[in-house]
Amino acid sequence: MYLNPGNSGFTGIRNDIYVDKSGLISLINGTIDTPRRLTCISRPRRFGKSFAAKMLCAYYDKTCDSSVLFDDLKIALDENMNETYKQHLNKYDVIYIDMSYIKPFTDNYKTIVPYLSQKINEELKASYPEAETSNELPVSMINAVEITGNKFIMIIDEWDAPIREKPETQRPYLEFLRTLFKGSGTTDKIFAAVYMTGILPIKKDGSQSAISDFKEFTVVKPRKFGKYAGFTEKEVRTLCQEFQRDFKMMKRWYDGYSFRGVGSVYNPNSVMEAIRNDDFDSYWTQTSAAESLMGYISLDFDGLSKTVAELIGGGEVKVDTRGFSNDLVTFHNGDDVLTLLIHLGYLAYDEATGRVRIPNEEIRMEYHKIVRDVKRDDTIRRIRESERLIEDTVHGNAEAVAVQIEKIHMEEAALHYNNEQSLRSVIKRAYFSFGDEFILFEELPTGVGYADIVYFPKKDSMLPALLIELKWNQSAEGAIKQIKDRDYPVGLRGYGGEMLLVGIGYNKDAPAGGRKHTCRIEKIDRLI
């Protein structure tokens, strides 16, 4: 179960649709018997963590011959990787632990330390009866290394499961990990390399990592492991061509994450499910992470409700990720909540700007489903006002639309208009409940130029499309005129349904007591 599990797990993966991520092996090979031998990679659920762990097991396990599984992959074919590929293939004793698997055998992680020590000791004794075992697991492992002449590769999948699911057990668990990886000569004697993966980064002990010698690579800073944290755009294009799937739809549904030096990154599980089912849908609901979203966005931090509304509306917000304690219970402010949502995959983080956004249509649907169950008065009010705004827009009540847009602007004191981009931010906040009926497009190429905002009705919606043009320090009539002059609706010909042209203007020099925002709505019956 734990010592040398073989290659059957990776064999099953290779027998299915497979995207070659074997370059990851080369990076781990580069850490073997170096001060960098301890690697921890964190990424959201359904982003291929267990696939990577099973691949590494198959590659390093000395009790099997895995050449047939790897000889046609990049690790073997790339001349820059080929030498270390042959050097380390099936050369080590591997200890593989899936922390989520052992939960029912450890009384909900309460007996995790004695359980693992006993089981690994038993398997060491069975494989190497001449090696003396000890109540101290590191001593047993050192004895095994002395008998076999080669060190262990340890692979821990879902390393943070005890911390996520039973926080009160984390102290003895972290002490157990410290015992194995405490940076003394013991670690160097036992391990050639360690690969640990989970959702959360390593738990902080005060301001420092609780297991300080690990080199960490997270979704906030994946660094050289970024291309292995999900599917790249090139990989998704190749899959769409091979299985004749619509790449544009794949991008809208599952893109949205991005890492420096890699570009767009897609949720692997959702892409694979869309290919297998030939259906673009939210597959995120099938993960247990979705069940906890409401609890996090309901936390009582000032401004969090407003921030969530802006994110759902399609906006971006600044986040300080440095104070996060790397658990699911210690929150000091709204930034800690947003940082957790980055690690869970509910927000995409831009390392260059320090800003977050909801990455794609799949995740936006989850927010829309959950936000109506949030029991906070300000959240409920925002939902109702946004739904009423959409209703007023659809019914052509331009005066009511202008009043509500002005109200949102007055509430958002930090949003000072100085261009149409600022105005757009308020519009998206105002229409933030659009996800039930519409898909949001910004800067949509159409006619001669780009439409500012288009809310395009979903296939089961009975509502018209909304083409919104914004004009800062100009009139709503001027916005409508630009839509017509540049023939923006032409880009949506073939849609076949009704469309509303919505012009919204802002006049900063409006007379005292007068309204700065104006709105004009015109209807186009049908685009053929």
What pLDDT is stored for residue 69 in this prediction?
97
Domain boundary assignment for the chain: 8-217, 232-371, 377-524
Question: Look-up: residue for tokens 């949720």?
Answer: 267
Same topology between domain 8-217 and domain 377-524? no
What are the start-end ranges of the E strands in 351-461? 355-357, 438-445, 450-457
- Picking from 333, 332, 340, the residue whose alpha carbon sits closest to that of residue 293 is 340
Topology at the third CATH level for domain 8-217 = Rossmann fold (3.40.50)
Indicate the average pLDDT of the chain.
Answer: 88
Q: What is the C-alpha R_g of the chain?
A: 27
What pLDDT is stored for residue 123 in this prediction?
96
What pLDDT is stored for residue 448 in this prediction?
72
- Name the pairing type of β-strands 152-157 and 93-98: parallel
394: alpha, beta or left, given left = phi > 0 and alpha = psi -120 to 50? alpha
User: Taking the CB of residue 228, how many other CB atoms lie within 10 A of it?
Assistant: 22
Q: Which CATH class is domain 377-524?
A: alpha beta
What pLDDT is stored for residue 528 in this prediction?
46
Kindly give the parts of the chain with pLDDT less than 50. 290, 413-414, 528
- Picking from 340, 232, 330, the residue whose alpha carbon sits closest to that of residue 289 is 340
Single-letter amino acid code for the residue at 321: T
What pLDDT is stored for residue 439 in this prediction?
85
What pLDDT is stored for residue 54 in this prediction?
97
Structure tokens given for 184:
């003394």
What pLDDT is stored for residue 414 in this prediction?
47
Residue 35: Cβ-neighbour burial (10 angstroms; 0-12, 13-18, 19+) = exposed
DSSP conformation letters of 46-76: TSSHHHHHHHHHHHHBTTS--HHHHTTSHHH
Q: How far apart are CA 205 and CA 189, in angstroms?
A: 26
Structure tokens given for 281:
């849908």
DSSP conformation letters of 95-139: EEEETTTTGGGTTTTTTHHHHHHHHHHHHHHHH-TTSPP-SSHHH
What pLDDT is stored for residue 410 in this prediction?
79
Contact status, residue 269 vs residue 46, Cβ threshold 8 Å: yes
